[in-house]
Amino acid sequence: MSMVQEQIDVDVPLHTAYNQWTQFEEFPHFMEGVEQVTQLSERHNHWTTKVAGVTREFDTEIVDQLPDERIAWRTTGGEVRQMGVVTFHRLDAEHTTVRLAIDFEPEGVAEKAADAMGMVDRRVKGDLRRFKSFIEERGVEQGGWRGRITPG
């Protein structure tokens, strides 16, 4: 498994950043290579990605979600093996730090080479920069789910 950890400060209140992140179907607007996310239930999403011309589909399960603090997930099916957590940290009334940590299993020679060259780290960093632009340009979230999902 490989680990990527990145963070970014966004110029919106904590609840705004968190609420927007719960809108999984909006991820293609700021995540490179994400073609579509379909929310199947409060816990489950289906993803379609296309990276370097290769399309992959997989499912994720949210295993822990605490409003304004964290969302943790893992893959449950398909061609991708990963788990991760995004956390939200209040800096002040109008600023939030978003931290993203992902453990993933690169598949095949190309993915292993991309991981070794730091391409995955750069992609995640770019996704966070695009999230920052996405939410700051709007200034408000496009919705939000404030439910609690507990581990186990």
Q: What secondary structure does DSSP assign to 43-89, as a single string?
A: SEEEEEEEETTEEEEEEEEEEEEETTTEEEEEEEEES--EEEEEEEE
Q: What is the pLDDT of residues 121-145, one digit of tens each?
A: 899 999 999 999 999 999 999 999 9
| Poorest-pLDDT segment among 20-29, 82-91, 97-106, 110-119 | 110-119
Classified by CATH at the fold level, domain 2-138 comes out as Alpha-D-Glucose-1,6-Bisphosphate; Chain A, domain 4 (3.30.530)
CB-CB contact of 152 with 33 (8 Å): no
Say how many Å lie between the first and final Cα of the chain, rounded.
22
Q: What is the residue type of 63? A: V
Q: Taking the CA atoms of 5, 48, 20 and 60 in sequence, report the sign of the dihedral they define.
A: negative
Global pTM reads: 0.93
- The backbone torsions φ and ψ at residue 130, rounded to the nearest 5 degrees and listed phi first, read -70, -35
CB-CB contact of 30 with 152 (8 Å): no
Distance CA 129, CA 106 (A): 23
